[in-house]
């Protein structure tokens, strides 16, 4: 039931119609019987600043932020959580009663969740290197999660070496930068290879073949549209265990849900199946 005292949360993007977040959050809200609702907001880039400003001091308690607004959301917030600071991008905004906006980034939590829930419960890198493809916002947010999962080193491989080098700066050797030409060399000995590029999204763009990763290396793709990307299909063909991007999406949503409503989502709700149906993958 939604009363006049309902808490309102939502996702803001441009476009936003493809977002699975309303499906996920509203399933959890319903299961918990919360007086709340989660709404998609389609907001063009030139309207984003005034949109956010207009929500200060209203009954909107929080927003997820998707493309192309993640950087601007980070810049406009009054206060940044550690993950938003590290990634320089925000996917979760909490509107406080004093009209201030707190920004954070739960993508790293989502990645950690996906690696822990994926092919092996509580998976750890066991002090082996992890290869991270891409040097955008999602890659920046992934590094803490990979450190927490026991990576000895994060090898960032990007088509623009300068972007990878920028990401590696300040990590004291824990993050190293590599050119795409050296992708297979970077994969030697890796415990996992994580695709944080948008290559493969909607079947567009592709990544080079990887043949040098050890057989037990986990291949994880952040892209979940399609669910079985060519990156993951090739990994399966090479005999690697795989984790898809939907696990990460659900993991980041769970942390955002807690930030908005102060409770964790109920475990018994099978939001993965709901999402698979919406993606036409069930
Ligand atoms: P950004 O636009 O910030 O970064 C994209 C990165 O991908 C850049 O490094 C870009 O390189 C690189 N890239 C794009 N196309 C190619 C290509 N064909 N070959 C090599 N590199 C390429 O996006 P985000 O970091 O925010 O997101 C990356 C992906 O992760 C997206 O597909 C997004 O949907 C997904 N994602 C999934 C989440 C989940 O919950 N599953 C959460 C967050 C993101 P360059 O700078 O040279 O253009």
- pLDDT tens track, the chain, 282 positions: 799 999 999 999 999 999 999 999 999 999 999 999 999 999 999 999 999 999 999 999 999 999 999 999 999 999 999 999 988 899 999 999 999 999 999 999 999 999 999 889 999 999 999 999 999 889 988 999 999 999 999 999 999 999 999 999 989 999 999 999 999 999 999 999 999 999 999 889 989 999 999 999 999 999 999 999 999 999 999 999 999 999 999 999 999 999 999 999 999 999 999 999 999 987
pLDDT of 40 reads 98
Q: How far is the CA of 195 from the centre of ligand 1 (A)?
A: 8
Contacts with 220 (C-beta within 8 Å, 6 or more apart), sequence order: 111, 114, 115, 118, 192, 193, 194, 195, 242, 243, 244, 245, 248
Q: Is 73 left (phi over 0), alpha (psi -120 to 50) or beta?
A: alpha
Nearest ligand 1 atom to the CA of 198 is 32
Torsion of CA 209, 122, 249, 72, to 10 degrees: -90
Task: Compute, in angstroms, the gap from residue 49 CA to the centroid of ligand 1.
Answer: 24
Rounded Cα–Cα distance for residues 277 and 282 (Å): 5
Q: State in Å: Cα 3 to ligand 1 middle.
A: 39
Residue nearest to ligand 1 atom 12, measured at CA: 197
Q: What CA–CA distance (Å, rounded) separates 209 from 90?
A: 32
Measured over all CA atoms, what is the biggest interatomic distance in the chain, rounded to whole angstroms?
59
The C-alpha atoms of residue 122 and residue 96 are separated, in whole angstroms, by 34
Contact residues for 172 (Cβ-Cβ < 8 A; gap 6+):
none
Residue 70 catalytic?
yes
CA of 188 to the centre of ligand 1 (A): 23
What is the b/e burial string over 16-44, where b = at least 16 CB atoms within 10 angstroms of the residue's CB? beebbbbebbbbbbeeeebebbbbbbebe
Closest residue by Cα to residue 111 from 228, 247, 242: 247
Residue 136 CB–ligand 1 contact under 6 Å: yes
User: Does the CB atom of residue 255 touch ligand 1 within 6 A?
Assistant: no
104 lines ligand 1 (CB under 6 A): no
* Residue 87: closest CA among 65, 107, 57: 107
Cβ–ligand 1 distance for 208 under 6 Å, the answer no
Atom 17 (ligand 1) nearest CA? 199
Q: Does the beta carbon of 107 sit less than 6 angstroms from any atom of ligand 1? A: yes
Evaluate: CB of 252 within 6 angstroms of ligand 1: yes
Residues in the chain: 282
Q: Given its phi and psi angles, is residue 81 left (phi above 0), alpha (psi -120 to 50 degrees) or beta? A: beta
């Amino acid at each position: 039931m939604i009363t006049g005292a309902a808490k309102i949360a939502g996702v803001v993007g441009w476009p936003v119609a493809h977002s699975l977040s309303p499906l996920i959050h509203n399933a959890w809200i319903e299961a918990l019987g919360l007086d709340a609702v989660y709404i998609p907001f389609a907001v063009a880039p030139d309207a984003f600043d005034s949109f956010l400003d207009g929500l200060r001091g209203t009954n909107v308690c929080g927003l997820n932020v998707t493309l192309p607004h993640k950087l601007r959301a980070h810049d406009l917030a009054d206060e940044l959580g550690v993950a938003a600071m590290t990634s320089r991008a925000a996917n979760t905004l909490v509107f406080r009663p004093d009209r201030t906006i707190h920004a954070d980034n739960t993508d790293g939590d989502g990645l950690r969740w996906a690696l822990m829930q994926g092919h092996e419960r509580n998976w750890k890198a066991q002090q082996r290197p992890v290869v991270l493809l891409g040097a955008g916002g999602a890659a920046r947010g992934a590094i803490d999660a990979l450190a927490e999962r026991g990576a000895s080193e994060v090898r960032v491989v990007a088509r623009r070496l300068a972007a990878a080098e920028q990401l590696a700066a300040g990590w004291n050797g824990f993050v190293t930068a590599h050119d795409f030409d050296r992708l297979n060399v970077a994969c030697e000995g890796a415990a996992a290879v994580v695709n944080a590029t948008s290559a493969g999204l909607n079947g567009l763009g592709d990544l080079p073949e990887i043949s040098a990763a050890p057989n037990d290396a986990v291949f994880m793709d952040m892209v979940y549209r399609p669910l079985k990307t060519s990156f993951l299909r090739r990994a399966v063909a090479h005999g690697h265990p795989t984790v898809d991007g939907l696990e990460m999406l659900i993991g980041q949503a769970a942390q955002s849900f807690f930030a908005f409503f102060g409770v964790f989502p109920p475990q018994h709700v099978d939001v993965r199946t709901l999402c698979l149906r919406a993606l036409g993958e069930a």
